[in-house]
Amino acid sequence: MTVAAHETGAAAEALALEYLEREGLHLRARNFRIRRGEIDLIMEDRGEIVFVEVRARRRSGFGDGVESITAAKRRRLIAAAKAWLQRQRHEPPTRFDVIAVTPETRHVEWIRDAFRADE
């Protein structure tokens, strides 16, 4: 990943976090990594754990963010989510959301329940 791409990704994550917190979600973890995958943001929404994949886009209008997540990427996200959940004392309800961000315009598109772990 280039420095510019990393900076764009970091800016998109910051915008996504700011947006979700304004919507009432609470940050539980950021950039949770295991060997098989990474979760950008782990949020809590009224007792439900939300695993968030942030997708930075150069401009809006090129798909909804979910389309850019391949089956292999979903498997890596699910593996990371399971690893995070194993570290918790209980297993709350969960979902996987996608946030597509266009950093230049600060446009945020939130796709709730974008996919399920059992797909």
- The CATH number linked to 46 is 3.40.1350.10
Please state the domain count of the chain.
1
Instruction: For residue 71, give its domain range.
Output: 3-115
Report pLDDT for 117: 86
pLDDT tens, position by position, for the chain (119 residues)? 554 555 678 889 999 999 999 999 999 999 999 998 999 999 999 999 999 999 987 655 555 556 778 899 999 999 999 999 999 888 889 999 999 998 788 889 999 999 988 86
- Strand extents, DSSP E, 35-105: 37-45, 48-56, 94-102
Quote the pTM value: 0.88
